[in-house]
Amino acid sequence: MANPFKVIGSVVRVAGPLVEAEGGLHAHMLEMVEVGDNRVVGEIVRLQGNRIKIQVYEDTTSLKPGAPVYGSGMPLAVELGPGLIGAIYDGIQRPLEVIRASSGQYVQKGIHALALDRKRKWRFQPVLKPGATAGGGTIIGLVPETALIEHRVLVPPGVQGKVKAIAAEGDYTIDEEVAVILDNNDQEHTVSMCQRWPVRQGRPFLAKLRLSEPLITGQRVIDTLFPVPKGGAVAVPGGFGTGKTVVQHQIAKWCDARIIVFIGCGERGNEMTDVLVNFPKLTDPRSQRPLMERTILIANTSNMPVAAREASIYTGITMAEYYRDMGYSVAVMADSTSRWAEALRELSGRMEELPADEGFPAYLPTRLAEFYERAGSVNTLSGKPGSITIIGSISPPGGDFSEPVTQHSKRYVRCFWSLDRDLANARHYPAVSWTDSYSEYLSDVAVWWDGNFDPQWLSMRNRIIELLQQEARLQQVAKLVGPDALPDAQKIVLEAAAIFRNGFLQQSAFDKVDTFSVPAKQIKMLKIILTFYEKSLEAVKAGASLADVQRSPLRSAVLRMKSACSNEEIEKLDALLKEVGNFKVEAGV
């Protein structure tokens, strides 16, 4: 293949990751370029006459004025094809494992490595025959990418016509021809198993669908109180140490999305190391296969060039859209959007743009909207439904949720999991605050819960929220008059809320039983706690005291049920619910 890069100018100024060059009369906005003798990768972000400004995704140390700039004529794009699953990339899709094998533990300046293995052969099975009509997004063949994921080879968007030829079943590399499409103008289009797509341009689809099926995470505070559907968007803000990364790790491990794309965007190296070391060792809970057989990792840590951090979330979301177009549900973990916004701020400052709130560029809200709007449940070009759920963490300085990234993110998401420092300090995990968090998807997912489990799901969920809100008000009163001054009926509210917090909302990631709860277990636990509260209230009204209720062995059983009953032993909860339904307390007993 001929080298597409041509000299389009020369460097005149270097300011960190921003490079200015002259002579760019044939340059294009967002064109991918290579700069200097080391051919470091960059992207054109501004054109001013014959001057171009380039954000470089690598270290610019030793780059000098006069160095050549090579233009590709194409925008920054990613390679899409078999081999993405299980791979670990940096922010511009360079395979880190390949780089480590060739140049050691550090990414050397100007190093180039193909994102997908050109030598590996994949078993291709055609699903169309010559003469069949095929358009962009049509599935022409199947490839067993991993034991968990069947890769569906797609016709690139924009190609339409009839299949002139298609490869027989056999082993092929990703660059070999597997089909030829003859369009209406009698022009032939060769189709291989690999295609490229610009990262800043969303892939097309037929229509967006209404969100209805929840993303089951196995985390009770999320699934029951603040659910997100497949195709939804969530913001997860929290100060240092509140567990943002841990929440995303748990969701990545346990959620029922078919494919996970985890983007470590500017996070500390030790946190990303934890992902890179532990994920390959984890087992998918549903298939008992390695979790990496359905996971793509993008590692762009805080010690890597800041410009690549800005590109990393687009790289990840483009890969997610590719698998969505195959008809899969994909969950994207962006950790964290604050670090990405800080990269925008630094690059904006280098380009001497007027700053807005707290130094962030005025287009920060637009960039956030462009990212989150790529979530959704869609009818793909192939006719199959697919979805992308985006879960973006936010690291507000000092835990201040009034800062710009948090406030602007709230405008574009309908679900907000606020992490509370007091809960984290009390070792209550997940530290999702039930007073500050919300989900606007309740009515969307209620139909699914009603049809599959219990038509009372939403009413029970709302009753628990009311109970927690009532507890917050009573605690304010108790601080003034003392808890002993409260009547027993109000003490029962505090007791029931404490049981719900400790026996339902709090989960241990180190407990093999408690780390994940299936929906059936969650709804039975919810019903048991509400029934225990109602029976306790009846007993108090009949003359029993709070101490009488607390002495009951059933109270301990309700608190222990999260660990005592595994997901395979849900029938135990039916027996406990029956016992709680018959619960009676006599005064003084």
The CATH number assigned to the domain holding 320 equals 3.40.50.300
Radius of gyration of the chain (CA): 27
285 & 415 share domain? yes
Alpha carbon dihedral 31, 37, 41, 47, in 10-degree steps, equals -30
Q: Count the Cβ atoms, other than its own, within 10 Å of residue 410.
A: 15
The answer to whether the beta carbons of residues 123 and 144 sit under 8 Å apart is yes
| Pair 18, 34: CB distance under 8 Å | no
**CATH code at 164?**
2.40.50.100
**Per the structure block, which two tokens stand in for 312?**
């990393």
pLDDT in tens, 376-409: 999 999 889 999 999 999 999 988 999 999 999 9
Domain's final residue, options 75, 91, 106: 75
Considering the domain architecture, whether residues 154 and 211 belong to the same structural domain is answered as: no
Residue 307 and residue 416 in one domain: yes
Determine the average pLDDT of the residues in 311-328. Answer: 96
Question: Taking 60 as the threshold, does the pLDDT of residue 274 lie above it?
Answer: yes
| Residue 399 structural domain | 207-436
Shared domain check, 218 and 172: no
User: Which residues lie below 8 Å from residue 486, measured CB to CB, with a gap of 6+?
Assistant: 474, 477, 478, 494
Average pLDDT over residues 84-90: 93
Q: What is the pLDDT of residue 268?
A: 75
- Is the same domain home to 175 and 214? no
Is 223 found in the same domain as 161? no
So what's the pLDDT on residue 589?
A: 47
| CATH for 54 | 2.40.30.20
Q: Which two tokens stand for residue 400?
A: 């201040």
Same domain (yes/no): 246, 364: yes
120 pLDDT exceeds 60? yes
The pLDDT of residue 115 is above 90: yes
pLDDT at position 108 is: 76
For the chain, the domain total comes to 4
Q: What percent of the chain clears pLDDT 90, i.e. is strictly above it?
A: 75
Task: Give phi and psi for 234, each to the nearest 5.
Answer: -130, 140
Does residue 441 belong to any structural domain of this protein? Answer: no
Residue 368 located in a structural domain: yes
Task: Look at residue 3 in the predicted model and tell me its pLDDT.
Answer: 64
- Same domain (yes/no): 463, 336: no
Is 108 among the domain residues? no
Last residue of one domain, picked from the residues 193, 222, 249: 193
Q: Is residue 92 assigned to a domain?
A: no
Amino acid at residue number 513: V
| Token couple for 535 | 């029976």
At position 406, the amino acid (one-letter code) is: T
- Residues 287 and 406 both lie in one domain: yes
Q: Residue 469: which residues within 8 A CB-CB, separation 6 or more? A: 435
Per-residue pLDDT reduced to its tens digit, 139-161: 999 999 999 999 999 999 999 99
Residue 587 has pLDDT above 70, yes or no: no
pLDDT tens digit string along 250-270? 998 899 999 999 998 887 777
470-484: average pLDDT: 89
Contact yes or no for 11/20 (Cβ under 8 A) = yes
Query: Strands 68-75, 31-35: parallel, antiparallel or unpaired by DSSP?
Result: antiparallel
Give residue 588's pLDDT band: very low, low, confident or very high (50, 70, 90).
Answer: low
| pLDDT confidence band for 448 (50 / 70 / 90) | very high
What contacts 460, CB < 8 A, 6 or more positions away? 454, 523, 526, 527, 530
Q: Among 163, 193, 223, where does a domain finish?
A: 193
Q: Tell me if 20 is assigned to some domain.
A: yes
pLDDT at 99: 86
Residue 243 in tokens: 């567990």
Question: Which range (71-75, 79-83, 124-128, 416-420) has the least confidence?
Answer: 71-75
In a domain, 103, yes or no: no
pLDDT at 13 over 70: yes
CATH number of the domain at 500, please: 1.10.1140.10
The answer on pLDDT for 306 being more than 90 is no
272/370 same-domain check: yes
Q: Is residue 1 part of a domain?
A: no
Q: Whose CA is closest to 555, among 580, 525, 575?
A: 580
Specify whether 26 is located in the same domain as 69.
yes
| Confidence grade of residue 488 (pLDDT, cut at 50, 70, 90) | confident
Whether 493 contacts 540, CB under 8 Å: no
In the predicted model, what is the mean pLDDT of the chain? 92
Query: Does 276 score more than 80 pLDDT?
Result: no
Q: What is the DSSP letter of 26?
A: T
Tokens found for residue 481: 């008059």
* Whether the predicted pLDDT of 132 surpasses 90: yes
Summarize pLDDT for 397-445 with one digit per residue, the tens. Answer: 988 999 999 999 999 999 999 999 999 999 999 999 999 999 999 999 9
Helix (H, G, I), strand (E, B) or coil at 558: helix
Residue 538: phi and psi, rounded to 5, are: -65, -40
**Residue 375 backbone phi and psi in degrees, to 5:** -75, 165
- Looking at the fold, whether 165 and 218 belong to one and the same domain comes out as no
Give the model's pLDDT for residue 584: 80
Short-list 390, 445, 376, CA closest to 206 = 376
pLDDT at 1 > cutoff 50: no
Which pLDDT belongs to residue 586?
Answer: 63
Is 524 a member of any domain? yes
| Span of 99-113, 195-209, 399-413, 490-504 with lowest mean pLDDT | 99-113
pLDDT for 361 equals 95
Q: Report pLDDT for 541.
A: 87
**Among 316, 363, 372, 318, which Cα is nearest to 344's?**
363
Q: Give the residue carrying structure tokens 């109270």.
A: 555
User: How far is the C-alpha of 589 from the C-alpha of 77, rounded, in Å?
Assistant: 72
450 pLDDT exceeds 50? yes
